[in-house]
Amino acid sequence: MTTQFFFEKYSHMARSEQGLAAAGEWPSLRPLLPDFTGLRLLDLGCGYGWHCRYAAAHGAASALGIDLSEKMLAVAREKTDPASPIEYRRAAMEDVDFAPASFDVVLSSLALHYVEDFPALAGRVFRWLAPGGQFIFTAEHPVFTAQGSQDWLYGPDGEIACFPVDRYYCEGKRTAHFLGEAVTKYHRTLTTYLEGLLRLGFVLEHVVEPAPPENMLDLPGMRDELRRPMMLIVCARRPG
Ligand SMILES: C[S@@+](CC[C@H](N)C(=O)[O-])C[C@H]1O[C@@H](n2cnc3c(N)ncnc32)[C@H](O)[C@@H]1O
């Protein structure tokens, strides 16, 4: 996600302009979030910082947003009251490290499919969490990332025929096209996500495949989103 053109287009997407209210998964994610009062949040791949600001507005003691992109962080800083307990830091989430038990909640929204080694990252998240802390993330669903193109297959008249799922057990790099750019993502199976967390000692609290909310179904293309899962939401807890 680097070019100016891409960033320009990203900045005009509904969720970039309107924030969480325009995010299709928000009605499914919000009820899974804790009462942030007094909690320390780490947001991996924070983008414009919507979740950091949500946590701060709901009483978080601190929120640290990590993102690779200085452009995303510049917008996040612009949108953030400097008096709020939020810090943004440019880094790859694979490279950061923190003292054990530094956070009560580690959240990541739609960024983990850019990371090659999920179990390694999740192991570090486990250490960074205080006992009883939560790891809550959304990522592109393995059904959505498996084949790679992330596009429908079309019939002779240009109508959607179906969504291709292929190479499911072949984990690794995929190149999809998003907003006209080639974007590298990493496919992994549902087992790698869920079993990976269980093996580390996390307790799984919620696994959700969010469908588009009723009030968004009339947006262009949204009813087709009922044909296959695009997103996975997982809420896991480090035992207390
Ligand atoms: C689809 S955006 C989601 C942004 C934000 N979490 C949200 O839900 O609005 C993905 C973000 O992850 C960031 N990102 C991708 N790979 C990353 C990595 N390895 N480390 C840190 N951030 C990364 C991108 O720069 C981008 O801001």
Tokens 């919507």 belong to residue: 50
103 touches 36 (CB < 8 A): no
pLDDT of amino acid 1: 47
Mean pLDDT of 158-163: 96
Whole-number Å distance, alpha carbon 159 to ligand 1 midpoint, is 32
Whole-number Å distance, alpha carbon 158 to ligand 1 midpoint, is 32
Q: Edge to edge, what strands does the sheet with 231-237 contain?
A: 86-90, 62-67, 40-44, 103-109, 129-140, 231-237, 203-208
**Measured between alpha carbons, how far is 120 from 142 in angstroms, rounded to an integer?**
18
pLDDT in tens, 9-21: 888 888 888 999 9
The minimum-distance atom of ligand 1 relative to the CA of 114 is 16
**Measured between alpha carbons, how far is 196 from 31 in angstroms, rounded to an integer?**
24
50 lines ligand 1 (CB under 6 A): yes
Whether the pLDDT of residue 162 is over 50: the answer is yes
pLDDT confidence tier of residue 152, bands split at 50, 70 and 90: very high
Tokens 């959607």 belong to residue: 160
pLDDT in tens, 53-102: 999 999 999 999 999 999 999 999 999 999 999 999 999 999 999 999 99
Percent of the chain surpassing pLDDT 70: 99
What's the distance, CA 219 to chain centroid? Answer: 22
- Show the tokens assigned to 38: 């007094």
How do beta strands 153-154 and 160-162 pair?
Answer: antiparallel
- Show the tokens assigned to 196: 């990976």
